[in-house]
Structure 1
């Protein structure tokens, strides 16, 4: 039996930002460039497609009634019942050349959220810290913000500028989610196939990374040692998320963006979303604190 199965055969141009809600057993993810939020129960059920009207890339739970969505104009509060989106904190809203990208909630409830150029302009993006209504820029001159994730105790943060091939790690204040030191290289991926895309960290400190263009999901130990590579049926896996009532499986999004018609024929499942039936000691995403 294969370790990898199709969770959703809906094809996204740029599938990204998967996040699991244990209260409703639903996986949420995005087709960024088409402005869609997708929703599907992990235990089985119909796919729902929510049209957002703008590029969006990440979701966090505020409470049972509200979600926080990172979009090309900033952080929006989404009413779960109605789908109404209300701008809460603008981020580069006056810059039509950038959009949101990878984001994740720190265990304390702070959000790290990244931006990038819509055409991947060199150095056009940043990574921000948002906590209880306060916004700070942490890192600038980022080309493609990715791999934002945190250790279970909140003492470590990870991120990358995908264009560099370097996955970074930085010490964090567990109470605030702010960096307390200088970033250091955790994994140097420059000599390997593909690019470091989205990542997530399990309870054992193992970092799971989707390798865009590398057709794999890689797992790294807390010291950066490669533990295993899981072969994917698509060239461009984009981001993993822990799913299920025990957070013991991985869902992985993918994309066909950047491929011509011939390349898409050779990669027919590109843009689908997958389940990895491998043993993971996952955990649920913290809720984000907006006030």
Structure 2
């Protein structure tokens, strides 16, 4: 499938693997199986993977400090104690709408979380993208079907996002001190009519955007101007989101999924849902702490 080294970090097949995050202080990678309400914890130094049950579907985890994480779930934003796993509601998010859940998100360098919501059955236009920091929530974009690809330039001056359903990757200028938009989104990359769908993404230290392409067995790399400069094949049809991991942030974790696949599909795609690590000759940037 590829001329790069690919390892299996976890062979547990996720229904919908998503939301990877790396905490360099503990050399730990985190990700979710959204539809099964599971949180995965991979202690990379020990080579161990632990699976935690969540009270509801979770999709994004972000470190607050050495002891706590913020977890975005279908029921709101929760503070999770890393040692005990205990979760307490911090900020409601669409708590008046049981038809939606959280989906893709990432923390801006200023400590603000951009978090998307979507219909539990991917109903058209049912979701939105929000900005959260210091207990405040603001709706940025509405009528989103499947929010994805949320990530930011290393200097925090640009944000990127897509609605997988619409097939257009957007770039928007941001205030680097807040992570709030200061202009209208423009088209970064038009994927309408292309193979697969634009999914989760992460930016590397050079500002390149690494984007999973659901249904097309690959990770695409774009410049900040929207030129696709590299495509890396992966041994799973439905890659969902990448994240740079490791002490040098020089390895790429890729979550994958088996959502919507038939038995015949799964027979042809035995690594569907597994969590992969790729050596890609690139370096990421540390995940910022989120300000709650």
TM normalised by structure 2 equals 0.98
Match of 1:138 among 137, 140, 155: 140
Q: Which residue does the alignment assign to 1:128?
A: 130
After superposition, residues 196-207 of structure 1 pair within 5 angstroms as 196-207=198-209
Give the 3-state SS of the residue equivalent to 1:163 in structure 2: coil
Matches of 2:44 and 2:220, distance apart in 1: 23
After superposition, residues 115-194 of structure 1 pair within 5 angstroms as 115-194=117-196
The reply to whether residue 25 of structure 1 matches residue 27 of structure 2 is yes
Task: Tell me if the contact between 1:10 and 1:271 (Cα under 8 Å) persists in the aligned partners.
Answer: yes
TM normalised by structure 1 equals 0.98
Tell me which stretches of 4 or more aligned residues in structure 1 moved more than 4 Å: none
Matches of 1:269 and 1:53, distance apart in 2: 27
Matches of 2:157 and 2:36, distance apart in 1: 35
Matches of 1:150 and 1:123, distance apart in 2: 24
Q: Which residue does the alignment assign to 2:82?
A: 80
After superposition, residues 62-73 of structure 1 pair within 5 angstroms as 62-73=64-75
* Superposed CA offset, 1:151-176 (max 9, x none): 01000000001001100000000000
1:2, CA displacement in angstroms?
Answer: 4.1
Matches of 1:158 and 1:46, distance apart in 2: 33
Q: Which residue does the alignment assign to 2:37?
A: 35
Task: Tell me if the contact between 1:42 and 1:243 (Cα under 8 Å) persists in the aligned partners.
Answer: no
Task: Tell me if the contact between 1:171 and 1:182 (Cα under 8 Å) persists in the aligned partners.
Answer: yes
Task: Tell me if the contact between 2:4 and 2:280 (Cα under 8 Å) persists in the aligned partners.
Answer: no
Structural RMSD (CA)? 0.9
* Superposed CA offset, 1:225-248 (max 9, x none): 111100010000000001010111
The count of corresponding residues between Structure 1 and Structure 2 is 290
Give the 3-state SS of the residue equivalent to 2:165 in structure 1: helix
* Superposed CA offset, 1:249-290 (max 9, x none): 110000000011111111111000001101112111000000
Q: Which residue does the alignment assign to 1:248?
A: 250
The reply to whether residue 89 of structure 1 matches residue 72 of structure 2 is no
Match of 1:266 among 237, 247, 268: 268
Q: Which residue does the alignment assign to 1:47?
A: 49
Task: Tell me if the contact between 1:28 and 1:39 (Cα under 8 Å) persists in the aligned partners.
Answer: yes
1:44, CA displacement in angstroms?
Answer: 4.2
Match of 1:215 among 190, 214, 217: 217
1:42, CA displacement in angstroms?
Answer: 2.5
Give the 3-state SS of the residue equivalent to 1:148 in structure 2: strand
Match of 1:237 among 239, 257, 261: 239
Matches of 1:220 and 1:120, distance apart in 2: 26
